[in-house]
Structure 1
Amino acid sequence: MKLVAVSSCPTGIAHTYMAAEALEQAGKAAGHEVHVETQGAAGSTPLDPAIIAAADGVIYAADLEVKDKDRFAGKPFVDVGVKKAVHDAPGVIAAAVAAVEAGVPAGGPAAPAAAPVTKVDRNAGVGTRIRQWLMTGVSYMIPFVAAGGILIALGFMVAQFAGGSEGVIEVTAIPVSHLLNDFNATVGMDWAALLFQTGVVAFGFLVPVLSGFIAYAIADRPGLVPGFVGGAISVAVGAGFLGGLVTGFMAGFLALWISRWKVPKGVRGVMPVVVIPLLSTFVVGLVMFLIIGQPIASLMTGLSDWLNGLSGANLVLLGALLGAMMGFDLGGPINKVAYTFAVTGLATEGIGADAVQYQIMAAVMAAGMVAPLAMALASTVRKKLFTHAEQENGKAAWLLGLSFISEGAIPFAAADPWRVIVSSLVGSSVTGAIVMAAGSGVRAPHGGIWVLPLISNPLGFVMAVAVGMVVTAGLVVALKSAKPNEIVKAEQAADAQALVSTAA
């Protein structure tokens, strides 16, 4: 059969491309032709319309809305999450073949271009749809956070190198003529101010983008204007991240409701351009400014005060909890909750590089590095406990782990879930606790070992990652030694037989 597929994950990085590769390989192994469109963070190259037209069925391996889903209308399909495609690609291919043989319809003709389209699967449960809407906003938000956060952190690092104080770069003017001079204290502070202020501007889009794209996931383009404006109002009134969540959902549902009004034909043309953005934006602004903006701002202030008030054992426990969440599902929903909590904390004001929110970010980043590094270590020192494929994956996991890409451990978890996940949970929890105890902090929301110069107490951070890696690898080796994997046994027997045959 000829199958087409679309893969996407909340961050658009690892799972998206791992699912695509797994589906293509599983399809080839089963004798089918599979073409996958990856809708990832780097954008996507749409499938050739001729390939879609010739396809017998469609696979949606996506945790986000599928862009331009109407292209596949009328074709049998299966709709699974991206992790299902990564973990059980042959099963997904088999399900797609069964759907084609059963003639499961894909949902009728495409909707008219003038009508808004809710891209999240309407047949999914309420909880799934809410998660998809939320993750759409988060996936568009993360690049702004990464760019802004790293620029801000670089600004502070350059300021320290130039001998200035952190507070100075927030108000330093940027005389362009100085920037190309030989580096000295004055020029250094100018560069620090340039990096910092550019990062602040990028970071300022965090809440509007989150709100705007939650609304977009719900109502398509009509939701963008009220969503972005609602997010900006949330920033203006101090409601921050929580306000952005509220305005995103409020704007999306409001725009979707207005777009479904029955209006005369003469008015339809101006509805998406004038009426929907005008009415929805006004209502969102009215509600935020007059009703819920200040209560949410008070809640955000309380959350910030609570975080800054944590110390000692409470911080260590929080680090252990966040570490366990990062190590539990390796890039899945629980992992993303912990990461999003840390990232949004960066948007609150902290004092100094050791502010609690920066320590939380460091704990989450370190814990997220542990599982892939541990699998790489374990598959290197005890090769006989792993399949040939896992040994090859272990080589790539070194780089993935160092780069803070937790998904590098997924091939190991897919092959041996409970032993890998239990070990990862323990080791990552230990790492999170050690980071908090050491007081390491980082303003950059991503980067792993490559942003080590931006981390306060980098020695404590590296020590925490190393300890967690050793603990996780040790547990995996111990658990696998107690009961070796049957696939590994079969491979070893085949290798032994091959040696005997060669010798003969």
Structure 2
Amino acid sequence: LVGFLVKYMNEHIHLNKNFSAMKPMLILPGVSILVVFLANFFIVDPVFGGLNAWLQQMVLTYKDSSEVLLSSIIACLTAFDLGGPVNKAAGAVAIGMAADKVFPLTPRVLSIVIPPIGIGLATLIDKYVVGRHVFDEDLRVSGKTSLLLGFLAIGEGAIPFALANPLITIPINMLGATLGSVTAVLLGAVQWYPLPAVWGWPLVQNFPAYAVGILVGVLFIALTNIFIRFHIIRKKEKTTTAVK
């Protein structure tokens, strides 16, 4: 948004030659900072601040519930927007509960890595599973990046897939993260520290259970993405053939 604003001002603000140096050094950054501040103060903070507060309250409401239900809620919220405001709200609550020794961070840290690794794996094995690629060239390249970043606890690598087809990618991410997290929790995996991916593996109690949880979630996301996208492609091809 700021980039578009700066581009617009740069194209439409014309100054005398004597003052032209002021535009990139003073006017553009000054106006941009002012607009961002006002937007945050009057729009972003009231709207998303309220959303964050509601999400935190919702999670806290269920803190005395079963570990399966609480793990599912944290996993879904964490995987929903891959590092966005919903993810951050879930993280704030999860870290607070872990700090108070109410509930460990196991579902939180698992749900950070499962979606990017799962979607990345899907781009590598789709040809072997259904006999053809179900992702275009750009997404196949993004998939390799997503896979690598997933092991480094960076979920944003999967964002291109969510943007390209949110109605498929987001629900699958949430379900896969939930399945993987609940599996690990039920098998006895425990992680109290906010260190996901390879950074926190040495600190996990019962790492084999933790690894099984990752495997379950990753395979669900990878295979479900492949089969659903393959079905959509086949359906489009049949429609095109029928029209011809």
TM-score normalised by L of structure 1: 0.38
Q: Using the TM superposition, give the Cα deviation of residue 426 of structure 1 relative to its aligned residue in structure 2, in angstroms.
A: 1.2
Structure 1 residues 129, 418: closer, same or farther in 2, change over 3 A?
closer
Structure 1 residue 450 displacement after superposition: 2.3
Separation in 2, partners of 1:380, 1:419: 18
Partner of 1:330, secondary structure, is: coil
Q: Is the 8 A contact 1:322 1:432 kept in 2?
A: no
Determine the structure 2 residue equivalent to 1:267: none
1:484 counterpart = 2:233:
yes
> Which has the bigger relative contact order, CA under 8 A and spacing at least 6?
2
Identity of aligned residues (%): 23
| Residue number in structure 1 paired with 2:142 | 393
Q: Assess if the C-alpha contact under 8 Å between 2:111 and 2:181 holds in 1.
A: yes
Quote the residue 1:461 is aligned against: 210
Indicate the SS of the match to 1:484. helix
Counterpart residue type for residue 72 of structure 1: V
Counterpart of 1:363 (choices 85, 103, 107) is 107
Q: Distance in 2 between matches of 1:433 and 1:53?
A: 53
Aligned residues between the structures: 217
Equivalent in the alignment of 1:340 = 92
Residues 189, 209 of structure 2: 8 Å contact kept: yes
Give the AA of the match of 2:109.
Answer: M
Letter in 1 for 2:3: A
* Partner of residue 318, structure 1: 70
Q: How does 1:53-132 map to 2 (within 5 A)?
A: 71-72=30-31, 121-124=40-43, 127-128=46-47, 130-131=49-50
Residues 52 and 72 of structure 1 are in contact (CA less than 8 Å); yes or no, is this contact kept in structure 2? no
Look up the equivalent residue of 2:182 and give its one-letter code: A
One-letter amino acid matched to 2:103:
Q
Which of 74, 83, 87 is 1:331 aligned to? 83
CA separation of 1:386/1:121 partners in 2, compared to 1, >3 Å: closer, same or farther? same
User: What is the deviation of 1:374?
Assistant: 0.8
Aligned-residue offset at 1:345: 1.5
Per-residue Cα deviation, 1:440-494 (whole angstroms, up to 9, x for no partner): 22232124122111110111111101110000111111110111299x99xxxxx
Please tell me the root mean square deviation across aligned C-alpha atoms, in Å. Answer: 3.9
Taking structure 1 as reference, are residues 132 and 324 closer, same or farther at Cα in structure 2, changes over 3 Å only?
A: closer
**Closer, same or farther: CA 392–480 of 1 in aligned 2, 3 Å:** same
Query: Radius of gyration: which is bigger?
Result: 1
The AA in structure 2 aligned to 1:475 is T
> Mapping of 1:183-198 within 5 angstroms?
none
What's the TM-score, normalizing by structure 2? 0.73
Q: Which AA in structure 2 matches 1:457?
A: N
Residue 374 (structure 1) aligned to one of 111, 115, 118? 118
Contact 1:440 1:458 survives alignment (8 Å)? yes
Any idea what SS the aligned residue of 2:43 has? coil
Q: State the AA in 2 paired with 1:357.
A: F
CA offset digits 1:137-179 (Å, max 9, x no partner): xxxxxxxxxxxxxxxxxxxxxxxxxxxxxxxxxxxxxxxxxxx
Alpha-carbon contact 1:319-1:435 (below 8 Å) kept: no
User: Deviation at 1:331?
Assistant: 1.8
For residue 121 of structure 1, give the secondary structure of its aligned residue in structure 2. helix
Asked whether the 8 Å contact 1:120–1:133 carries over to 2, the reply is no
For residue 179 of structure 2, give the secondary structure of its aligned residue in structure 1: helix
CA contact (8 A) 1:316 1:434 kept: no
Q: 1:120 to 1:459 in 2, by over 3 A?
A: same
**Structure-2 change in CA distance of 1:328 and 1:449 (3 Å):** same
Specify which structure has the higher proportion of strand. Answer: 1
What is residue 160 of structure 2 aligned with on the other side? 411
Q: 1:125 to 1:485 in 2, by over 3 A?
A: farther
**Match runs of 1:268-279 below 5 Å:** none
Instruction: Report the equivalent of 2:14.
Output: none
Structure 1 gaps, min length 5: 7-22, 34-47, 56-68, 80-117, 135-240, 243-302, 351-355, 490-504
Q: Which runs of 5+ in 2 are unaligned?
A: 12-20, 128-132, 238-244
What residue in structure 2 maps to residue 146 of structure 1? none
